Amino acid sequence: MSIAAETKSQVAEIGEKYKYGFVTDIEMDMAPKGLSEDTVRFISAKKGEPEWMLEWRLGAFRRWLTMKEPDWARVHYPKIDYQNSYYYAAPKNTPLKQSLDEVDPKLLETYKKLGIPLHEQMALAGVAVDAVFDSVSVATTFKDKLNEAGVIFCPISEAIRDYPDLVKQYLGMVVPVTDNFFATLNSAVFSDGTFVYVPKGVRCPMELSTYFRINASETGQFERTLIIADEGSFVSYLEGCTAPKRDENQLHAAVVELVTLDNAEIKYSTVQNWYPGDENGLGGIFNFVTKRGDCRGKKSKISWTQVETGSAITWKYPSCILRGDESVGEFYSIAIANNYQQADTGTKMIHLGANTRSRIISKGISAGKAQNTYRGLVSVYGKAKNARNYTQCDSLLIGGDCGAHTVPYIESRNSTARIEHEATTSKIAEDQLFYCLQRGIPQDEAVSLIVNGFCREVLQQLPMEFAVEAQKLVGISLEGSVG
């Protein structure tokens, strides 16, 4: 039985409920199971990479062998057997496509089920899509318009070949190869991802969007994203994903690096909807992500917005290094954990420059038997005079078996810094629900309405294209959570 057919029957056995739980039957080009230097070489060769890139990967791999998996997060999961996983899977025979017509119709069908009609919708919405199917980018649209503006938006594998100087200069600059266990693993085996460069003074003419999707059984997904906003430029990047249903836990360890030079701004929005596992906590994605932005230039700004509804385990702290004077970092987060999901997420705001400002708005929602932790660090260094931070952490509990935890770390080495922290924990009150019901709003919709209200400040930060989808997702992920 082929792997695809096997998972297909598994999916059928597990049953429905997860809307995006289907598997596309496309032959996979797999790396041998397990992780060794050979695996790294295999991946690098598959991507047709130059020697320097292979060396970079091998350096990371050797480093990784000496590292220990971190255990400080409030998440519990069975030990991951890194030798029992595949590290590369690509749809077969996919030289870069010139147009969507060349794309496997089955693949396009998959996107359609996900509600991503590449053909029409993207044109209408003015969104360029670098669609990642498993590990290889298959179709890229809107290249011309972006070319005109001088914006580079391409698979990172392509950037390694075509823009080696930019990649060499910035790759691993924000998240060093040695940064942490999962980031180092990613550096060794990343399969593909997205590269964006916005030149000086350019306002990117459209929202950039990538859809990630895991579609091969037991294949870790290691995305690598690098976005550089040169002086005075602006770009808004949307990342969203849904994954098919599985009963094997799947490892996902992405690395995202953002760099803003003087007066540049990056707005990075994520809707994360990986398969969270079933009602009994079986299956689901392990999501260990390292996302970090470097506000390198003066008056530059990086804004993270995330809606995290999926994954069995979420380990994720999109952070900002506020290096440039007067730079601004923002983190807006909604983390929803239902059933047996565990989320440990938050941010780090590292104030290095003078007059730097940061703002953290975190909304955690726990239901079922889920555990939801906000973990954040605000650190003001000695030279960061007049640094400002405002942090607001709100937790909402649905039912009596879930947990919400807030772990804020605050360090200040400058007496002129001003740091504010507010935290609340609340429950959906019975009288709120009754009020909605009495006005004719059914229970699941009432929960969705109340939770969306709770998350409003964050949802407002999302670009329009995502806001509607995110609101629906909030409702869907909490369906049936109230008795």
Q: Which residues contact other proteins (rule: CB under 8 A)?
A: 429-432, 434-443, 445, 449-450, 452-457
Residue with tokens 């019975």: 430
Comparing CB distances to other proteins, the nearer of 227 and 398 is 398
- Closest Cα to residue 341, out of 478, 145, 448, 454? 478
Bridge partners (DSSP) listed for residue 42: none
Sign of the CA dihedral with 66 first, then 72, 73, and 79 last:
positive
CB of 455 to other proteins, least distance (A): 7
Comparing CB distances to other proteins, the nearer of 9 and 424 is 424
Comparing CB distances to other proteins, the nearer of 231 and 445 is 445
Distance, in Å, from the CA atom of 71 to the CA atom of 282, rounded to the nearest integer, reads 21
Question: What does 39-70 look like in DSSP terms, one character per residue?
Answer: HHHHHHHHTT--HHHHHHHHHHHHHHHT----
CB of 428 to other proteins, least distance (A): 10
Q: Are 224 and 190 in contact (CB under 8 A)?
A: yes
Distance, in Å, from the CA atom of 90 to the CA atom of 28, rounded to the nearest integer, reads 6
Question: Would you put residue 63 in left (φ > 0), alpha (ψ -120 to 50) or beta?
Answer: alpha
CB of 450 to other proteins, least distance (A): 6
Torsion angle (degrees, nearest 10) of CA 412, 414, 417, 420? 20
CB of 430 to other proteins, least distance (A): 7
CB of 433 to other proteins, least distance (A): 9
CB atoms within 10 A of CB 27: 12
CB of 449 to other proteins, least distance (A): 6
Comparing CB distances to other proteins, the nearer of 105 and 440 is 440
- SS3 of residue 466 by DSSP: helix
Comparing CB distances to other proteins, the nearer of 409 and 434 is 434
CB of 364 to other proteins, least distance (A): 15
Distance, in Å, from the CA atom of 106 to the CA atom of 5, rounded to the nearest integer, reads 15
Comparing CB distances to other proteins, the nearer of 345 and 448 is 448
Comparing CB distances to other proteins, the nearer of 48 and 442 is 442
